[in-house]
Structure 1
Amino acid sequence: MNYRHAFHAGNHADVLKHVVLLALCDALTRKPAPCFALDTHAGRGLYALDADAAQRTGEAGDGVARLLAAPAGDPAIARYLDAVAACRAAHGAHAYPGSPWLLAHALRADDRIACCELRPEEAAALKANFRDDPRVSVHRRDGYAALKALLPPHAGSQRYARGLVLIDPPYEAQLAEFDAALAALREGLTRWPQACYALWYPIKRRRALQPFYRRAAALPAQSTLRVELLVRPDDSPLRMNGSGLLLLDPPYGLQATLASALPPLAAALAAVPAPAPRLDWLKGAG
């Protein structure tokens, strides 16, 4: 693997993913029972946007920086920006939270979080970033294999009836990565069907994703919500023109939250005229 998320932290795909992730966490924590979250491809969990890697690509300038410069009034977007502000208050003016940090920020004292990262240096940084948080366990291992090893979750006598699994692979294998991701979702749904599963994916050309959509709709989930945001026309296979998430068995009410957030997100992040965001059900009706 050559992928380093430090080069892409805070870009438009991160913004979408993290707005959705916080909305999922808030929906889960509305009920008092403790929950469990698994982040299968966690990275280091915390990034510096003034570091060389981020400066070299400048992707955050077309992502989180656009929202910070002109905040939208939508509650889900405000929630995200508040989390970024909290991260910067704790770690410096140029810090940016990865998904492990956001999970730790949004979940409660009796919730538990497992984060998997395969690269040794990234896993070491992840462990250092959360060494003082007893809720977070860091596993240096393949994220796909972790679904079999860590699900269904339990800690001693505590078993978790509710939770979230975030699958956010680097897609170095291009379209072949979808095969592994769909197999992992099927494994997870078999082992822990009570959870919500969120799979992030890049979009180059939407039409190339049609087989993926069909196969995702056939997974043994009761409902599957598709969330997509493009920042450019999907007319080039050489660049990421947008991204999406499949949400399998999402919490009640999440569709309404995202329906409010997507239009202002698209308006803020699209550098040129782009297709409208997409929010629809591949399966079920929520």
Structure 2
Amino acid sequence: MFSYRHGFHAGNHADVLKHIVLTHILQYFNQKDTPYWFIDLHAGAGLYDLEGQWAQKKGEYVDGIARIWQAKSPPPAVMHYLDMIRDLNPDGNLRIYPGSPWLALEACRSQDKLRLFEMHPNESNILRQNLDQRTVRVPRQTAVFGDDGFAGLKGHIPPPSRRAIVLIDPSYEDKHDYRRVIDTMKDAMVRFPTGCYAIWYPQVQRREAQELPRQIEKLAGKNWTHVSLTVHKPGADGLGLHGSGIFVINPPWTLAATMKETLPWLVRTLGQDERASYKLDFLTH
């Protein structure tokens, strides 16, 4: 249960896609004065050292954030994402990479709330330590739970303001995570059907991963955006991550057009062979 550590994968191509989408959603939510909650069901440690032993062991960030760090004239959504990371690396050298809770913390305003779930005891402890060093307002607006985020979501939706972004991005190392995502979304769409739900999934050679987007679409109603990015052809051994996708229910109305502009650039910049490609599907009520 506790074997997965995101530090090995921080800043890889899947993080790039997920965090570009997330930062766009956060930017959109900030356009209204009404407060919102950001609920992260698999928060991780919040910050990652790309020069540390975990990130260096696999070096996945080399084919992710490192490829776009010095990009010339990237699309606006990529530029906004990079600006948030540059704030953590003021000397211009890429070393610190923010996870989803940290990007949300940087984007959220004082009236917004963060509810962060992380079951791995070491990761949740590091997350708390990172947050404690951030600012004086963090403890008042942020709560960290060392619990199962799938189960914990039920007690946090709908929030008082009835505005929320819910991020669901388990590691999927346990094949039961695919089923738990669907079960969680079935319950969430009853409790809080107007929430914004961002569900990340890996592109791996596994039947459950291929079926998950279709299953989510059946639950999503009439307002959703689905994007995926493939960076190389599947490995001959059937192992490894060759891409990823993110399915957003009740997305900002601007998301589809933003990703239509952004995804071709990501294919050119992150693609590793002739199989690099993207998909963009959406339905708007």
Asked if these proteins are the same fold (TM beyond 0.5), I'd say: yes
Displacement after TM superposition at 1:206 (Å): 8.5
1:194 alignment partner, SS class: coil
In structure 2, distance between residues paired with 1:45 and 1:161: 25
In structure 2, distance between residues paired with 1:279 and 1:231: 15
Does the 8 Å contact 1:117/1:141 carry over to 2? yes
1:105-184 residue pairs with structure 2 within 5 A? 105-131=106-132, 132=135, 133=138, 134-153=140-159, 159-174=160-175, 176-184=176-184
The letter of the residue matching 1:192 is F
Displacement after TM superposition at 1:53 (Å): 0.4
Displacement after TM superposition at 1:123 (Å): 0.6
In structure 1, distance between residues paired with 2:79 and 2:201: 24
In structure 2, distance between residues paired with 1:96 and 1:72: 21
Structure 2: give runs of 5+ residues left out of the alignment: none
Displacement after TM superposition at 1:195 (Å): 1.1
Q: CA RMSD in A?
A: 1.9
1:273 alignment partner, SS class: coil
In structure 2, distance between residues paired with 1:150 and 1:285: 26
In structure 2, distance between residues paired with 1:206 and 1:222: 28
Does the 8 Å contact 1:225/1:246 carry over to 2? yes
The 10-residue stretch of structure 1 (16-25 or 207-216) with the greater mean CA deviation from structure 2: 207-216
Structure 1: give runs of 5+ residues left out of the alignment: 154-158
In structure 2, distance between residues paired with 1:85 and 1:212: 34
The letter of the residue matching 2:261 is S
Corresponding position: 1:44 with 2:61? no
Displacement after TM superposition at 1:193 (Å): 1.8
Corresponding position: 1:55 with 2:56? yes
Q: CA 1:54–1:38 in structure 2 vs 1: closer, same or farther (change >3 Å)? A: same
Corresponding position: 1:81 with 2:82? yes
Does the 8 Å contact 2:205/2:239 carry over to 1? no
Displacement after TM superposition at 1:40 (Å): 0.4
| Alignment match, 1:102 | 103
| Alignment match, 1:285 | 284
| Alignment match, 2:241 | 240
In structure 2, distance between residues paired with 1:249 and 1:161: 13
Corresponding position: 1:224 with 2:232? no
**Percent of aligned pairs with the same residue?**
38
Displacement after TM superposition at 1:54 (Å): 0.3
The normalised TM-score by structure 2 is 0.91
| Alignment match, 2:255 | 254
The normalised TM-score by structure 1 is 0.91
CA deviation vs aligned residue, 1:219-266 (integer Å, no higher than 9, x gap)? 153323211001002465311100000101111111111111111111
CA deviation vs aligned residue, 1:76-104 (integer Å, no higher than 9, x gap)? 000011011012239x8511100000001
CA deviation vs aligned residue, 1:165-200 (integer Å, no higher than 9, x gap)? 0001010123x3211111111222222222110010
Aligned length: 277
1:21-40 residue pairs with structure 2 within 5 A? 21-40=22-41
| Alignment match, 2:203 | 203
Q: Report runs of 4+ in structure 1 exceeding 6 Å deviation.
A: none
Does the 8 Å contact 1:67/1:268 carry over to 2? yes
Does the 8 Å contact 1:42/1:99 carry over to 2? yes
| Alignment match, 1:6 | 7
Q: CA 1:208–1:107 in structure 2 vs 1: closer, same or farther (change >3 Å)? A: same
